[in-house]
């Protein structure tokens, strides 16, 4: 793998950019792998990367029915934060946030990580109490957050309107080391590193069946033929239930669309991420100047990846009270991603009833921010056969035991 650097850019500029290599190899499936990971999104690629980096397991195939990073990884709003309430959630999201900080150096690929800070507005007295509680919990968890005054909110985000007639800003939960990253670059960087370790990334390869013998996984049937494996991991977000059915078990998840949009580019006016849960919207400004806007997930199960007019109306109408300036902007584009929701709005990182088969799903609206931490924890589970400390609480058995990790506010509304 060629090392990327300022010197490499200068060298290629002098010779007409003729020396660049493909970022990752175009691979064809072999007959057998130690591990097959289904899903070449951020979570699947991160799992493969940490299998190689942390455990030396490189006879790995990452198979994808579409194109690399074409699902939720390329269809989100890139927010990274770890200010969750429950201890297991805070641990895995903080691990993820810390890995994002050094990801560009670790992968030798610029993922454009920007620790610009994330604030979650308190616009009711109930939210004030809730966010103060979260700030205290985060202090005990070692996550740097603080509850700030309306004056500090205005200082950090001058375009905000504090005295909205329905929902005035009463303060905010502020995480200064949270931020954003370039979603496509995260997938591309992991794919490049996996390919350099000798792993096969196989696109346009749809899984049509899961093969097993005596209760143990033996491989998968795909649109490119039969592929054998010792271990299988399913990391396919909204399609997890469909794949689990092929393996002979059911998952407690629902799939819904989560929509977002961006405005036309404008001059820099906002250098933080603001989330307004009461009015159900959030906003940041991209490096290109677009205002990135999102809101709540659709209220009905669906698999669409397109936007809809009701989302524009509900989300933008809600945000205009807090950010009046956006009423004068034009929408540039809109999209949707298919998110998988569990009952407690926390993920599933678990072994399954089929021996040798593992599952990573249920991230709902928190998938992008969790990519490196999720990959780290899932790789450890695959390598050792049982979940490690980061993943232990997120097993499937918690639904049978009633041991929920309730993040319905932090994950179900805020993103």
The pLDDT of residue 285 is 97
When pLDDT is averaged across residues 356-377 and rounded to a whole number, the result is 95
- Tell me what pLDDT residue 279 has: 82
Q: How far apart are CA 52 and CA 35, in angstroms?
A: 11
Per-residue pLDDT, 249: 95
What is the overall mean pLDDT for the chain? 93
Position 410 scores a pLDDT of 61
| Residue 414: predicted pLDDT | 43
359, pLDDT greater than 90: yes
Last residue of some domain: 325, 342, 359?
A: 342
> Do 187 and 103 share a structural domain?
yes
Are 265 and 165 part of one and the same domain?
yes
Asked if 220 and 329 sit in the same domain, the reply is no
What mean pLDDT comes out for the span 278-307? 88
Residue 340 corresponds to which tokens in the numbers above? 């998988």
Q: Check whether residue 144 and residue 263 sit in a common domain.
A: yes
Residue 225 lies in a domain: yes
- How sure is the predictor about 408, in pLDDT bands with cuts at 50, 70 and 90? confident
Number of domains in the chain: 2
Model confidence pLDDT, tens digit, residues 331-358 = 999 998 899 999 999 999 999 999 999 9
pLDDT reported for residue 311: 81
Instruction: Return the pLDDT at 331.
Output: 93
**Domain assignment present for 284:** yes
pTM: 0.95
Rounded to an integer, the average pLDDT of 9-33 is 92
Domain end, chosen from 326, 342, 358, is at 342
3-state secondary structure the chain: CCCCCHHHHHHHHHCCCCCCCCCCCCCCCCCEEEEEEECCCHHHHHHHHHHHHHHCCCCEEEECCCCCCCCHHHCCCCEECCCCCCHHHHHHHHHHHHHHHCHHHHHCCCCCCECCCEEEEECCHHHHHHHHHHHHHHHHHCCCCEEECHHHHHHHCCCCCCCCCCCCCCEEEEECCCEECCHHHHHHHHHHHHHHCCCEEECCCCEEEEEEECCEEEEEEECCEEEEEEEEEECCHHHHHHHHHHHCCCCCEEEEEEEEEEECCCCCCCCCEEEECCCCEEEEECCCCCEEEEEEEEEEECCCCCCCHHHHHHHHHHHHHHCHHHHHCCEEEEEEEEEEEECCCCCEEEECCCECEEEEECCHHHCHHHHHHHHHHHHHHHHHCCCCCCCHHHCCHHHHHCCCCCCCCCCCCCC
Mean pLDDT of 186-200: 97
pLDDT in tens, 32-89: 999 999 999 999 999 999 999 999 999 999 999 999 999 999 999 999 999 999 999 9
Let me know if residue 7 belongs to a domain: no
- Domain-embedded: residue 26: no
Does 88 share its domain with 190?
A: yes
Q: Are residues 363 and 233 in the same domain?
A: yes
Q: What is the mean pLDDT of residues 281-287?
A: 94
CA 173 → CA 137, 176, 271, 361, distances in Å? 12, 10, 16, 28
Q: Which domain holds residue 304?
A: 118-179+255-342
CATH number at residue 195: 3.50.50.60
Q: How large is the average pLDDT for residues 128-156?
A: 96
Q: How confident is the model at residue 307 (pLDDT cuts 50, 70, 90)?
A: confident
Counting residues of the chain whose pLDDT is more than 90, the rounded percentage is: 81
């Amino acid at each position: 793998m060629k090392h990327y650097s300022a010197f490499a850019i200068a060298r290629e500029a002098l010779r007409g950019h003729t020396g660049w290599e493909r970022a990752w190899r175009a691979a064809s499936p072999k007959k057998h792998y130690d591990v097959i990971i289904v899903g070449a999104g951020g979570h699947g690629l991160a799992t493969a990367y940490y299998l190689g980096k942390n455990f030396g397991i490189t006879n790995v195939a990452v198979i994808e029915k579409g194109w690399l990073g074409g699902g939720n990884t390329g269809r989100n709003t890139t927010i990274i934060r770890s200010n969750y309430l429950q201890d297991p959630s805070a641990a895995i999201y903080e691990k993820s946030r810390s890995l994002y900080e050094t990801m560009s150096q670790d992968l030798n690929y610029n993922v454009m990580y920007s620790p610009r800070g994330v604030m979650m507005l308190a616009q009711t007295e109930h939210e004030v109490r809730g966010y103060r509680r979260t700030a205290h919990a985060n202090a005990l968890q070692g996550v740097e957050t603080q509850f700030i005054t309306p004056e500090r909110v205005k200082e950090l985000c001058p375009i905000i309107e504090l005295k909205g007639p329905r929902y005035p800003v009463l303060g905010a939960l502020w995480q200064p080391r949270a931020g954003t990253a370039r979603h496509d670059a995260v997938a591309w960087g992991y794919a490049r590193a996996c390919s350099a370790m000798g792993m096969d990334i196989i696109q346009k390869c749809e899984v049509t069946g899961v093969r097993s013998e005596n209760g143990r996984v033996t491989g998968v049937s795909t649109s490119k033929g039969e592929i054998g494996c010792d271990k299988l991991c399913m990391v396919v977000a909204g399609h997890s239930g469909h794949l689990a059915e092929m393996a002979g078990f059911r998952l407690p998840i629902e799939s819904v669309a989560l929509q977002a949009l961006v405005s036309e580019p404008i001059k820099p006016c906002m250098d933080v991420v603001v989330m307004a849960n009461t009015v159900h919207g959030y906003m940041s400004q991209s490096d290109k100047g677009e205002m990135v806007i999102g809101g709540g997930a659709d209220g009905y199960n669906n698999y669409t990846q397109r936007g809809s007019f009701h989302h524009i109306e509900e989300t933008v109408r809600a945000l205009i009270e807090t950010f009046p300036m956006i009423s004068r902007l034009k929408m540039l584009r809109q999209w949707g991603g298919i998110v998988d929701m569990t009952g407690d709005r926390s993920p599933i990182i678990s072994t399954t009833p089929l021996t040798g088969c593992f599952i990573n799903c249920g991230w709902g609206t928190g998938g992008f921010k969790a990519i490196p931490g999720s990959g780290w924890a899932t790789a450890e589970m695959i390598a050792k056969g049982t979940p490690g400390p980061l993943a232990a609480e997120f097993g499937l058995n918690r639904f049978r035991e009633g041991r929920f990790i309730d993040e319905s506010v932090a994950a179900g509304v805020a993103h």
